[in-house]
């Protein structure tokens, strides 16, 4: 079971404000997005607002509850990220997904826990009509 540390109090109080941080390494550099509507800094880098355009799902887990597979689905994508995903080498690059908890009054980050980290296997583009 994952330990959310200081965030457990907020979980118990039902006052949780949370998001996911999605870090994708491309050959030209690393892209970092979050699932909120605002941009913020954590761990010395900027996490750009992704709003609600990301969907996350996880595959089977091992006995330590670590997921073998994570799928990031984008319901919308800015042209620069689409270009990077299609033109750059993605297979074998690293990706990481974090769970981030904020203080509901100050929006200071209370806890960040790595949910998944692994190797990217590729990019699939699906039209909205599919």
- Residue 2's pLDDT is 47
56, 70 contact by CB (below 8 A): yes
Whether the pLDDT of residue 107 is over 80: the answer is yes
Buried-exposed string 48-76: b where 16+ CB fall within 10 A, e elsewhere: eebeeebeeeeeeeeeeeebeebebebee
Q: Which residues contact 47 (CB under 8 A, 6 or more apart)?
A: 21, 32, 33, 34, 39, 40, 41
Q: Which residues contact 95 (CB under 8 A, 6 or more apart)?
A: 22, 23, 24, 25, 70, 72, 116, 117, 118, 119, 120
Tell me the pLDDT band of 59, cut-offs 50, 70 and 90: low
More confident residue, 64 or 29: 29
The CA-based angle 30-34-36, given to 5 degrees, is 160
The secondary structure of residue 87, as a DSSP letter, is H
More confident residue, 88 or 7: 88
Q: Is 128 exposed, middle or buried (0-12, 13-18, 19+ CB in 10 A)?
A: exposed
Whether the pLDDT of residue 42 is over 90: the answer is yes
């Amino acid at each position: 079971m994952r330990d959310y540390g200081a965030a457990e109090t907020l979980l118990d109080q039902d006052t949780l404000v949370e998001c996911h941080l999605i870090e994708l390494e491309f050959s030209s550099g690393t892209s970092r997005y979050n699932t909120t509507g605002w941009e913020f800094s954590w761990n010395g880098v900027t996490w750009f607002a992704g709003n609600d355009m990301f969907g996350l799902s996880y595959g089977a887990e091992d006995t330590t509850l670590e997921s073998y597979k994570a799928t990031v689905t984008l319901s919308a994508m800015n042209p620069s990220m689409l270009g990077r995903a299609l033109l750059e080498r993605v297979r074998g690059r690293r990706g990481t997904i974090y769970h981030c908890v904020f203080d509901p009054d100050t929006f200071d980050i209370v806890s960040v826990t790595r949910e998944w980290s692994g190797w990217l296997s590729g990019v699939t583009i699906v039209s909205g009509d599919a």
